[in-house]
């Protein structure tokens, strides 16, 4: 098996690792971001910076949030108090945190918000102050459940997640899907899925979904949260046991090799 065209829908600046894996596995990576990330310094983020020395937990759910915090507040290491622990959603985010000289105290086995919440089950959160810099388009399950458990939570917009302003490549991808000119497509977040379909009229959306439901294009999701969004569109994706880009791509190629 060689030369399979695998579409990467991640933001361009977060796609290189996936491109390298696809290439090493003998495929051709086609980067078509359906998601654009832009770091911002919001009022809530400034408030979070003011409260750094009061935090009990600082939770990062993506590398982009880490980069935003350090860009707008490079002295965070000096400001954080010694009691503050850092939680992250997965190894990529942990690696990013550690690259800035901070130590991760909590990485869940299940790389989802639910996985983080499971890790917090045995911890007393009543009255604890928790900061979560993130995109406001993220799911609400993490802050809501932490609040239910008695924590005080500061959710601060650290970056924006939106559909790319220039949709040329997305439109080209739509045509490639219709013509079966790709072999596989990968999704790493719910927004990468939604943004592919959002601007389509009902007729085009139905056609694209039917093509992705066929056995001619493999569809892969990084984990069950993204997978469930695809299932809402009637598409049953390949989902790895471990929710990383690497595992997603290895599982995808394993399935393609079977056929």
Domain boundary (106, 130, 160) is at 160
Domain boundary (140, 160, 180) is at 160
156 in the same domain as 42: yes
51 in the same domain as 156: yes
140 in the same domain as 68: yes
The phi and psi torsions of 191 (rounded to 5 degrees) equal: -65, -30
Q: Whole-angstrom distance between the N-terminal and C-terminal Cα of the chain? A: 9
48 in the same domain as 133: yes
18 in the same domain as 83: no
CB 16 within 8 A of CB 174: no
Residue from 180, 248, 245, 188 nearest 217 by CA: 180
134 in the same domain as 67: yes
On the CB side of 134, CA atoms within 13 Å amount to 22
204 in the same domain as 99: no
CA distance readout (Å), 39 to 13, 72, 208, 211? 13, 9, 31, 35
Q: What is the C-alpha separation between 131 and 259, in angstroms, rounded?
A: 47
113 in the same domain as 49: yes
Q: The domain that contains 230 carries what CATH number?
A: 3.40.50.10090
Residue 3: pLDDT band (50, 70, 90) is confident
195 in the same domain as 82: no
Q: What is the C-alpha separation between 166 and 170, in angstroms, rounded?
A: 8
What is the tens place of the pLDDT at every residue in 117-135?
999 998 999 999 999 999 9
Which residues constitute the domain of residue 27?
A: 5-35+163-258
Residue 2: pLDDT band (50, 70, 90) is low
- pLDDT, residue 49, reads 96
149 in the same domain as 44: yes
pLDDT beyond 60 at 1: no
190 in the same domain as 76: no
Domain boundary (138, 160, 182) is at 160
What is the tens place of the pLDDT at every residue in 179-217?
999 999 999 999 999 999 988 899 999 999 999 999 999
pLDDT beyond 70 at 53: yes
242 in the same domain as 167: yes
pLDDT beyond 90 at 13: no
pLDDT beyond 60 at 9: yes
The domain tally of the chain equals 2
Average pLDDT over residues 24-41: 95
């Amino acid at each position: 098996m060689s030369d399979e065209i695998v579409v990467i829908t991640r933001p361009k600046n977060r796609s290189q690792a996936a491109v390298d894996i696809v290439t090493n596995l003998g495929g051709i990576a086609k980067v078509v971001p359906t998601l654009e990330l832009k770091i911002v310094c919001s009022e809530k983020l400034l408030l979070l910076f003011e409260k750094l020395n009061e935090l009990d937990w600082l939770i990062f759910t993506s590398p982009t949030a880490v980069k935003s915090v350090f860009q707008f507040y490079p002295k965070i290491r000096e400001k954080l108090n010694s009691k503050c622990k850092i939680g992250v959603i997965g190894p990529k985010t942990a690696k990013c945190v550690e690259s800035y000289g901070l130590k991760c105290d909590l990485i869940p086995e299940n790389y989802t918000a639910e996985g983080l919440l499971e890790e917090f089950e045995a911890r007393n959160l009543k009255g604890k102050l928790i900061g979560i810099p993130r995109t406001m388009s993220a799911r609400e399950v993490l802050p809501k459940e932490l609040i239910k458990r008695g924590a005080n939570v500061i959710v601060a917009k650290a970056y924006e997640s939106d559909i790319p302003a220039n949709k040329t490549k997305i439109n080209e991808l739509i045509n490639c899907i219709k013509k079966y000119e790709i072999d596989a497509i990968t999704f790493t977040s719910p927004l990468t899925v939604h943004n592919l379909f959002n601007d389509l009229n009902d007729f085009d959306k139905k056609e694209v979904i039917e093509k992705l439901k066929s056995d001619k294009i493999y569809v892969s999701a990084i984990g069950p949260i993204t997978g469930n969004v695809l299932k809402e569109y009637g598409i049953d994706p390949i989902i790895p046991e471990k929710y990383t880009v690497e595992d997603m791509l290895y599982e995808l190629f394993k399935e393609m090799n079977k056929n």
